[in-house]
Amino acid sequence: MCGVVCILEKLPSPCPSQEGNSSIFPPGRGKGWVKIMAATKYDYTLKDAMTMPVTPVEIQQFDIARYAAYADECDQRYAEFLRKDEGIAVWQRVRAGEVFRDQCRNMRQSLRWQLGALTRSLEYLTDAPTYLEPWYGIGTTASMFGADYEWPSGQAPVVKPLYHSLEEIPQLIPRESQDVPILRYTLDTITYFLEQTQGRIPMSWCDIQSPINVVGGLVDITQFFLAFYEQPEKVNAILAPLADAVISFTRQQSALIGEVLARPGHGFGSSRQGIGIGLSTDNLIMISPKMYTAFCVADTARIGEHFGGTAIHSCGNWGKWLQAVKKIPNLMMVDGAFSPQTDPAYNKCEEFRDALVNTGIVLHARLVGEPEDVLARVNRLWKPGLKLMIGTHEQNPQAQRQLYHAIHQFCA
């Protein structure tokens, strides 16, 4: 049985909804002090804590014009948020979990599920639209150097390391995209999505992983971590060409996607008005902040230079690495989980808030949970001078609309 803790939080009173006088809270709650049953523990039985049930939609039944107009409105709000020195934006994420498992194997099925997510997102208020993704696992960059997918039944594809030791790794020279099945399929998926949606729906890149993540598809990761101490020159010789490969294939995708490119991309609230490139960097917590600075910051910044800035994501509690990540000169956004329903090792609100206030760097906070819990955590995250984007996952449309307005009230 999940443990439950009770937390008292001081919220702005009364955190009103702008849709009439209805409250997001049950009677007697929500004004001044509210009692929050925060944190049933992370549910390990879920395949994906951030997914939402959707019904697949055929392209013939998808209203392209309606969604394009909806996305345009979202883009305007996104652009306004970026222009300001401080403020709050809300991204109501509608994530079709099937896309990020085995349904990515068939681009037609992937599109059906994603169109279902886009259709459902029309029920909600958001400052960033749901966008299409040519998601095809996270082995993209590693595949340029010879890695290939295995497909466990009902799951996302996996890449097993090609080499057992660093000594086995040859000079890393990436193959051309036409010679790599994973890359060809990704580009074909982009083309298919564009053709089916008339090039009118926002789309981002594939799931771009930072070099420190990619390396796990090439060599046994424990051997690589040892090399930070024993063979630092070898570490640099591996990470640099991986960064080059990320730049090369992302530029190729950008040219194909064109004007509908939504940035910074996978896992981030994104828009055609957005900037930067989102890099999943989960392995940063496996090395010290000092080592991240010495071995990863320069290559990460170099990637960001080509795309207008860098956005960094990591799962887990990575607050101790935040100061090292801030050394990336073109850092424009950081992402993390801030509730136990989102991640069992979630981040401390105040740690990220205080590190990012008055920096211009957007704090992108993922918050799965009941509306009361979400608002309590937004209350801890928000501070004047901060640029804060809240990722919500509320399924009930009425409750989500009330939550949207209540979140915006913090900086009204």
The maximal CA–CA distance of the chain, rounded, in angstroms, is 67
The answer to whether position 308 is within a domain reads yes
DSSP letter at 219? B
Q: Which two tokens stand for residue 39?
A: 């944190």
- Is 231 exposed, middle or buried, given 0-12, 13-18 or 19+ CB atoms closer than 10 A? middle
Which residues in the chain land under pLDDT 50? Answer: 1-22, 25-39
How far is Cα 299 from Cα 43, in angstroms, rounded to an integer?
A: 36
The answer to whether position 33 is within a domain reads no
Alpha-carbon dihedral 179, 183, 187, 188, rounded to 10 degrees: 70
Q: Which two tokens stand for residue 377?
A: 């955590």
- Whether the upstream peptide bond of residue 232 has omega within 30° of 0, thus cis, is no
The answer to whether position 208 is within a domain reads yes
> Hunting for tokens 């929050």 — which residue is that?
36
pLDDT at 324: 99
- Is 20 exposed, middle or buried, given 0-12, 13-18 or 19+ CB atoms closer than 10 A? exposed
Contact between 34 and 25 under an 8 Å Cβ cutoff? The reply is yes
The answer to whether position 245 is within a domain reads yes
- Whether the upstream peptide bond of residue 14 has omega within 30° of 0, thus cis, is yes
How far is Cα 124 from Cα 108, in angstroms, rounded to an integer?
A: 26
User: pLDDT tens digits for 254-301?
Assistant: 999 999 999 999 999 999 999 999 999 999 999 999 999 999 999 999
How far is Cα 322 from Cα 299, in angstroms, rounded to an integer?
A: 17
The answer to whether position 20 is within a domain reads no
The answer to whether position 183 is within a domain reads yes
pLDDT at 40: 60
The answer to whether position 124 is within a domain reads yes
- Whether the upstream peptide bond of residue 264 has omega within 30° of 0, thus cis, is yes
Give the CATH number, domain containing residue 383. 3.20.20.210
Question: How many domains, the chain?
Answer: 1
The answer to whether position 258 is within a domain reads yes
pLDDT at 44: 77
Listing DSSP states for 20-32 in one string gives TT--SSPTT-SSS
Q: Which two tokens stand for residue 73?
A: 């409105």
Domain that holds residue 60: 51-411
Contact between 134 and 197 under an 8 Å Cβ cutoff? The reply is no
pLDDT at 26: 39
Contact between 386 and 360 under an 8 Å Cβ cutoff? The reply is no
Confidence (pTM): 0.90
3-state helix, strand, coil in the chain (%, to 5): 45, 15, 40
